[in-house]
Amino acid sequence: PFINKELIIGKYTDSNAIDDYPIHYDDVTSSHTTTDNTEPYTIYYSKSVEINNKIYIFGGSIDNYNDTHLNNLYEFNTTTCNLAKIQLESIDGDSSNIPSGRRDHSMVAIQSQSNIYIYGGLIYRGYNGPRTYLRDFYKIDTTTNYSTKIELRPIDDDHSNIPFVET
């Protein structure tokens, strides 16, 4: 299914040279566009993980120094070459359980549980603008699309080595 198609996750520029950190969807035919009929676009500073032959892509921004940080989760099915935007649902209806838009975050997958974990990140306001460093932690269940904020608690007495979630 990958003949004459290209999905680049990593570093890419228009000259095909390695640069920056965008995800670029190129030469995706009309039969392989997103399932919600939106056009794929370049996303900078997002993260991706793989679970069960699907690549999950979260966050990022739509240009290097834009104030628009995404909290979109995309699922790319490597078997069908379909790209779908996943609507995250809060486990209890509380919108604070869904990660806010961000870039430069950490993201890992636990295959046996079909879970994605997202930690921290950065909100970048323009080239020389202020930056907000995030220290929150989320779990996303890819089988249900439920998202849950996890409150981190210290495990040592002096609390010096433990990240805290700001509430």
**Each residue of 105-121: pLDDT tens digit?**
999 999 889 999 999 99
Q: What is the mean pLDDT of the segment spanning 52-61?
A: 91
pTM comes to: 0.73
Helices (H) and strands (E) in the chain, counts: 0, 12
Question: pLDDT tens for residues 1-39?
Answer: 455 555 555 544 444 333 344 444 443 333 334 445 455
Question: Any idea what DSSP says for residue 32?
Answer: G
- The SS3 assignment for 156 reads coil
Question: pLDDT tens for residues 111-162?
Answer: 889 999 999 999 887 777 888 999 999 999 999 999 999 998 766 666 555 5
Residue 10 has what pLDDT?
53
Place of tokens 């997002």: 46
Residue 92 has what pLDDT?
86
Residue 65 has what pLDDT?
63
Residue 7 has what pLDDT?
58
| Residue 46, C-beta contacts closer than 8 angstroms, at least 6 positions apart | 21, 23, 57, 58, 59, 60, 70, 103
Question: pLDDT tens for residues 79-108?
Answer: 888 888 999 999 888 999 999 999 999 999
Sheet bearing 6-9, strands edge to edge: 6-9, 22-26, 43-44
Residue 4 has what pLDDT?
54
Residue 41 has what pLDDT?
62
| Distance, C-alpha 87 to centroid of its chain | 13
Give burial (CB, 10 Å; 0-12/13-18/19+) of 146.
Answer: middle
